[in-house]
Amino acid sequence: MSARDFAIIIAFSGCFVSHLPAQLPSGSVAPDFSAYDIGGNLHNLYTVLDSGKIVVMEVSATWCPPCWAYHQSGDLQEFYLEHGPEGDNRARVFWVEGDATTNIECILGLPGCSVSSPGNYSSGVTYPVIDNSAVADSFRVAFYPTLFVICPNRKLYETDARPADALWDLARTCPVAYGQNNAGIYEFYPGHGLPEICGNVELAPSFQLTNLGFQPLTQADIRLRWNGTDVGLVNWTGSLGVYEDTLISFAPPPVSGEGVISVQVSSVNGNASDDNNADNFRSAVFGNSAYFQSTDLLLKVRTDAFGQETYWELRDENGQVVESGGNELVGPEGGGKFPLGVTAGQGSLPSNTLVKDTLHIPQPGCYSIHFVDAFGDGMCCQYGNGYYRLFDLSDQTVPVISGGNFTEYDRHALKSGETTSILEVTAPENEIEVFPNPATSFVFLTSEEDQSGWSEWKIYNIAGQVVAHSRAREFPDVTGLPDGIYSISIRANSSVVMKKLVVQH
């Protein structure tokens, strides 16, 4: 039984801690602690981190049913076996009893338990089990169970009780020191909070330049590219010790339409060889915003078995809310912040129900639609077949924007009731076709105009670099490209079409 299934049958308020201030936010520096496990072994957090290990720490209470459910799932033990001392030795795990009123008998599931316990929390696990509420207090834990991923740079990131492989997906994003000269790009923000671009946008990319080498990082050149073309350069100098970082920001380059933004560290410490190039670049792909002819839109929302977890907003280009719906107790900041469910507040949608709402956009222009799920599992598919679909009111046959299979948030840009510049939109899907896709050798481009509608193409890799280009009347040949995901831009008459291209030999 999953932690959520357990939560359905228990009182929601039972696993919250009310006497502590706000929980430490993700990105905070983890407080150090030294604590004995129930076997008498002493553990010091910073000593473990300084050895280059990632720490996953669960803070629980024996009387909390979701805590017992996560223990029974075996996910934390599986993670420890795969990545602890008996696995690849890249991580450590601590389980901490956070309630000061709980005694050792509760942890062991023995008679004499001071509160309550469904069983032995040390059974079947080989990671350290620690009975020390002071550790939980120092991390300001607000509810049980709370999991933290703590990186060797001492920064912590809160997460939910997730399966072992998903836990590792998060943990392996931690920066880990290696070699002498080693710069890395972390906490990359591409400069725009939506996956699509509507009209002209000034991107404001930023990231943390982190020294992961044991020599001080004193110099780095960082390039900013849009669709493979340099649009910014930062020549950084300073002094960063191991795991120290500094914020790098770029002057906003104006962009329009689809494209790939990327940042890359091109030199470190006076052109010294970087000991790990894998973390020297980051990129993000932006699509074009959806287009609605009318300023009247039809929103259809089919909820899952937990309709009260859904909230949505329509915002203008300044971020002001135009219309909203769903549970106001969730609100725009509630995504994934109610791991045991949320109370049905004002505006809550019924469960497993289709709800229709007509949205009236005040004036033509750029807007965005935002969807929030309080539990963090979207609207589809484990607990129902929920979805959202946004139609042009003048044509309710095919949705312009649709979704539902997301985690905490889903959001999209849109343009409504405004004639769109030809340079800002892609050609209709049936005008330019790219096939086969995935491709192994030649890629064929066809159009309704017997191939006379395109005159140039470029293929970009995930870093935004142009890896193939031709202005001749020839089809792309991807035989020499490594397997992976690319973008291909095709100039069709006076507009540019950009589509995803998968190369798979």
Over the chain, what is the mean pLDDT?
Answer: 87
| Closest to 67 (Cα-Cα) out of 135, 169, 141, 134 | 141
Whether 428 shows a pLDDT value over 60: the answer reads: no
Cis peptide preceding 428, ω within 30 of 0: no
145-193, pLDDT tens digit by residue?
Answer: 999 999 999 999 998 888 999 999 999 999 999 999 999 999 999 999 9
Query: 434, 459 in Cβ contact below 8 A?
Result: no
Residues 15 and 141 in one domain: yes
Residues 161 and 209 in one domain: no
Count of the separate structural domains present in the chain:
4
Query: 31, 159 in Cβ contact below 8 A?
Result: no
Residues 310 and 222 in one domain: no
Query: 173, 91 in Cβ contact below 8 A?
Result: no
Residues in the chain: 505
Query: 295, 348 in Cβ contact below 8 A?
Result: no
Q: What is the pLDDT of residue 53?
A: 97
Extract the tokens encoding 255: 């962009």
Distance of alpha carbon 300 from alpha carbon 222, whole angstroms: 45
Residues 350 and 258 in one domain: no
Query: 393, 302 in Cβ contact below 8 A?
Result: no
Residues 303 and 198 in one domain: no
Residues 10 and 131 in one domain: yes
Residues 280 and 369 in one domain: no
Whether 452 shows a pLDDT value over 70: the answer reads: no
Percent helix, strand and coil across the chain, each to the nearest 5? 10, 40, 45
Residues 328 and 210 in one domain: no
Whether 90 shows a pLDDT value over 70: the answer reads: yes
Residues 115 and 44 in one domain: yes
Distance of alpha carbon 38 from alpha carbon 42, whole angstroms: 10
Average pLDDT over residues 3-21: 46
Residues 24 and 161 in one domain: yes
Whether 283 shows a pLDDT value over 60: the answer reads: yes
Residues 416 and 436 in one domain: no
3-state DSSP call for residue 193? Answer: coil
326-376, pLDDT tens digit by residue?
Answer: 999 999 988 877 766 788 999 999 999 999 999 999 999 999 999 999 988
Quote the domain boundaries for residue 209.
Answer: 183-288
Residues 11 and 146 in one domain: yes
| Max CA separation in the chain (angstroms) | 83
463-497, pLDDT tens digit by residue?
Answer: 566 788 887 667 888 988 987 778 787 776 555 67
Provide the CATH number for the domain around residue 391: 2.60.60
Q: Taking the CA atoms of the chain, what radius of gyration do you get in angstroms?
A: 26
Helices (H) and strands (E) in the chain, counts: 7, 34
210-241, pLDDT tens digit by residue?
Answer: 999 999 999 999 999 999 899 999 999 999 99
Provide the CATH number for the domain around residue 118: 3.40.30.10
Which bin fits 397, alpha (ψ -120 to 50), beta or left (φ > 0)? alpha
Percent of the chain's residues with pLDDT above 90: 63
Q: In what order do the strands lie in the sheet with 454-460?
A: 466-470, 454-460, 484-492, 495-503
